[in-house]
Structure 1
């Protein structure tokens, strides 16, 4: 059976493309929900949903699939069209996978400082990388490339929150609640997830409200990001700080997909704390986890400490966003940390102490 796309009318190609994506989804299993042992906190359970087990290794696999289905359904993507995306890496890896599946050229517009492992993963999937000097330049460069090539700019930062059906239909929130059904505290007290586009926090926040769950949504955010500032003061829409070292989350501008009204709490996390937490969790799980997962863990530890002090019982669910193999040359390289003046040792010690005592000590 030929794997080439049909060369007939647009609707024939569209039907072929939809079937290709649906078949790929049918072949895929759901991601695991991993309990993280916290012996000092007998009444609080912590879980991480392992999104690194997707075929493209990250949470963004879900988003990429949704964005392609959304673009196809809207008639924005056609046979032979070049797909262009602005990304910090992981979304581009996943979109390159789906573009390759549909025999479409793909170009990722990314900051030059993007981890080389991510660039290699995009190129492995047949994509091409267009690097820019400043993170804020990705939007205009991506649109310009799409215009020049007669292609389609996917624009995850605008469409992430609307491309996914937040009421259900196999989204990440529905999956979390289904997997929690037989746990001691099946309705999470908190779900903790960082924001890059804001699409995941919007999906989860809407889902818990739609289903009337007594769950709160916390978004941990790099200190340099604008999201936590905008959540506290809607008039703040830009950050002039140097870009965060944590790839995948935090932005210099408020993205259209970020919906602050469905977020119950935001926690600003120093980059060094995120990287330290990624290293600690990696040791405890016996596998490498990315920096944004570390951001999540730091917020989970803070929330768990507060719950324990208030004698609260319950569960916390967070997300293992991507595999740490993509950061071997950065977060897990001591020479890289030294070169960037990031001393993770005291932060790792604080988090190790949290697991032993159930309290996250203040700096």
Structure 2
């Protein structure tokens, strides 16, 4: 790859979303390949490991697609940036649709950083938009295979809709338990849409649902997204999926940064260039907040029309949103937040 006359080498490693493997491959990339920028990873837990390695080596890390608030919250360091959204952006986007139809809510989430951060964000965002949570949040171990006791709680809660935050295979078992316990059809599902491959298996009972999503390839209307769609179809005979825009945005952020530094890849020079950077991507303009390195970006509210289209053209666009989450830096760094609301959307 080249940016003007600057050659870019890209090394790809699979960390298997395992922190120990993340450490091994990241150190190899830094010590052997002498990389100047790290990009990754899918797991929020592994991303936290990567953050420490980036800081120790004074190498910028661009996180994608991991979404935990903690990445640019309690685990923040000056070398950590993100092009992925965070839990709060998911919640603000989804709650803008959910609370128009449902006011009594309950939620279940996985019992780790991603799930807990998401639950806190949904409670804040949906409450601010007029909803009430009828019970305490339900947290289940990520390894859960039988969700029956949790769905029994939801079935008896009196909620009009239940919010689910779950990344991984357990979602299938969760949906089965919802059906078995009479939750499906009685209480609305309030969760964001997921990747194309699993939508038919998980959402077959929810045609007509309106919900949020990070990215769906038909939603943005711009030349960069058109390019992404055309390239995916030409190279891989498929259409872009949920996280593909994150990958392209990471590349575009690197390109914009190197142009700004005139090719200087010194760590502190790259950090200075990335803070406050704006660039155009497949979802439109992306703004990297200088205060906490959160990526402000467009997200979407869609209505699910079908799950049979061969090109995964499942949705109708309802609305494009641009969620602005609170600053979640640790207390010691609160001064960096400036005028941004701190800790919650109201700052209280």
TM-score by length of 1: 0.26
Normalising by structure 2, we get a TM-score of: 0.26
More helix by share: 1
